[in-house]
Amino acid sequence: MRHRRFLQVPLIALSLVIAGAITAPLASAAPYVGTVRSFDAEPLGVAPSSCATVGDVTVGSAAIAGKPAGNRAAKLVDASATAFPRLTCLSSVSSQKSVTMQLSAPQMDIGVVIALGRTASDTTGLWRFYLERSANDVIVSVFNGSNWFIIGTAPNVNPTTEWFEIRIDASLTWATIGVDRARFSTSARASTGTTMESLIINSAGTAPLGLQLYVDDLGVTDSIPAFPSVVAATAPVGQQIRFPGAAKLADGTIVVAYYEGPSHGATNGLIKLVRSTDDGLTWSSPILVTDQTHDPRGPQLTALSDGTLLLTYFYMEWTATPYVAHGTFVMRSTDGGLTWSSPSAVASQMTCACGPVWPDSYAGGWNAGKGPIVELASGDLLIPLYGTTTTDSRIRSTVVRSTDGGLTWDAPNEVTLAVGSISYLEPNLSVLPSGELIATIRTSATPRRVEISRSFDDGYTWTTPAVTDIPAEAHSQIVLDDGSILFTYGNPTLPGRPTEGIVVQNPSGSWNGLAVRSTLIYDAGTTDQANPANIEISSGEYLTVGYDVADRTMSVVFTNRAHYAN
């Protein structure tokens, strides 16, 4: 690598300190940036310095659960029927807080409350969370000023035998708490206020029910960190950027195509392309790929093994009533995206170029593509599509094959991935090193969960789609150098549908249980986002492309393997 973007923060034995401000979204899974407090240099048996305490709170020996000899931590013991232990540490007054700490509780028969106080004397907090052990899980609740309610469960976390990280990112309107990288977000505040000044940790009651809690590696900053990012393109005034597609060329050049238009739909736009020759740090001025009579949208890129670069898009006619989908098209470049061929249509049983698509009237079939073409070891190409046929208005996902590098497509042998009582939309394909093909499919089911179909014969037949527990829309995926998959998606359960990501270490196995520890990659703070694109820059280092319609920008966000849960 020619550059290093990620801050490595040492664990320094200092008092709780405040790091400088960083521009960031309202909630982030980016690494904590700032100094953390170790208690190793503080005297045993006395209260932690510079923090207020109530009850039995001292610095104690904490060489437990794998920590080395000599490790010390703040120790809270609930052994009083009249007062519960409470630790309150002050920071500067601010409207954002980012908090990190390590917890271990050899005895946890009662829960732990963690709050962000409005003032030095506040004991309720603007945000107030409750952690309760349930076998080998931790249940997380939030207080809304009147009642507690559960917002999630962090699985496979046993506080009595291990240290685990707590991470809180909070603004005045939204907060996210992470428990061993399982993140839960909420807008339920315990009280009203415009600032936060203190971190409060206490047991959940005055009865001596049994709590021995250790708090270590404690840090608080006044802003929520974000992953490093750069702006790759900015649209002219009156225009907006959406729907990026990305590819990496053989010489390492990264190319990103994107849609530019005045709104999400119902207006005509065009497709542009930018390129980077330094791993995404700087980007060229955009070039125009195509500007047509109607609306080419949803560009996707694929770099073939022979050096050809393919761009696909689907073509909408918004001036017709109802709207008409004219199908999916392919353009070719043999010079790395500098010049392009004329578009050619992808033949499909769903195409008749007569629509209509919306509203719910289907005079004829239509198709659209939202996932890139994939190349098989045989040289065959597969393109994923979705749409309807002339005789069936159910929206299904299909795969069409080309045996001549994408010049022609075998519509008569188009294969259906999924069709049924719900809509199957926006399929994406991946080819694993073993040759197994994976199709991830967005659906209209409630709740939204991505479904997966597999092929073990080069895409001629596919398994019945299986529902996962991943709350995904507008998704994308790439196969990484080690054979795992980086899967990024808009999470519809969160306001604005921000872009999250997971690394699926064994894509041939179950994908369930990973989304609870997803990484929040990018949040533009708008309600029109997601549709990410991804590139592995080098082994273990990635960029994800997102956009902000309010700022008219497209940005690339840099992450690495350590930012995703195992």
Amino acid at 72: R
DSSP state of 411: G
Report the helix count and the strand count for the chain, using DSSP H and E.
Answer: 0, 41
Q: Which residues, including other chains, have CB under 8 Å from residue 405's CB and lie 6 or more apart?
A: 304, 306, 308, 379, 381
Residue range(s) defining the domain that contains residue 44:
11-221
Tokens coding 324? 């008409």
- Tens-digit pLDDT profile for residues 390-443: 888 899 999 999 999 999 999 999 999 999 999 999 999 999 999 999 999 999
Q: Are residues 262 and 214 in the same domain?
A: no
pLDDT at 82: 74
pLDDT at 127: 98
Q: Are residues 191 and 242 in the same domain?
A: no
pLDDT at 391: 82
When divided into structural domains, the chain yields a total of 2
Q: Are residues 83 and 178 in the same domain?
A: yes
Q: Is position 564 within any domain?
A: no
Q: Which residues, including other chains, have CB under 8 Å from residue 464's CB and lie 6 or more apart?
A: 418, 453
Q: Are residues 139 and 274 in the same domain?
A: no
Q: Is position 490 within any domain?
A: no
Q: Are residues 368 and 428 in the same domain?
A: yes
What pLDDT tens digit does each residue of the chain (566 aa) get? 232 222 222 222 222 222 222 233 444 578 899 999 999 999 999 999 999 999 999 999 999 999 999 999 999 999 777 778 999 999 999 999 999 999 999 999 889 999 999 999 999 999 999 999 999 999 999 999 999 999 999 999 999 999 999 999 999 999 999 999 999 999 999 999 999 999 999 998 756 568 999 999 999 999 999 999 999 999 999 999 999 999 999 999 999 999 999 999 889 999 999 999 999 999 999 999 999 999 999 999 999 999 999 999 999 988 877 788 889 999 999 999 999 999 999 999 997 655 555 555 555 688 999 999 999 999 999 999 999 988 888 999 999 999 999 999 999 999 999 999 999 999 999 999 999 999 999 999 999 999 999 999 999 999 999 999 999 999 999 999 999 999 999 999 988 999 999 999 999 999 999 999 999 999 998 899 999 999 999 999 999 999 999 999 999 999 999 999 97
Q: Is position 423 within any domain?
A: yes
CATH for 443:
2.120.10.10
pLDDT at 210: 83
DSSP state of 377: T
Q: Which of 174, 194, 221 is the last residue of a domain?
A: 221
Distance of CA 257 to the CA centre of its chain: 21
Q: Which of 421, 447, 479 is the last residue of a domain?
A: 479
Q: Which residues, including other chains, have CB under 8 Å from residue 113's CB and lie 6 or more apart?
A: 128, 129, 130, 131, 200, 201, 202, 203, 204
Phi, psi of 274, deg, nearest 5: -125, 160
Q: Is position 197 within any domain?
A: yes
Q: Are residues 149 and 115 in the same domain?
A: yes
Q: Are residues 246 and 204 in the same domain?
A: no
CATH for 193:
2.60.120.560
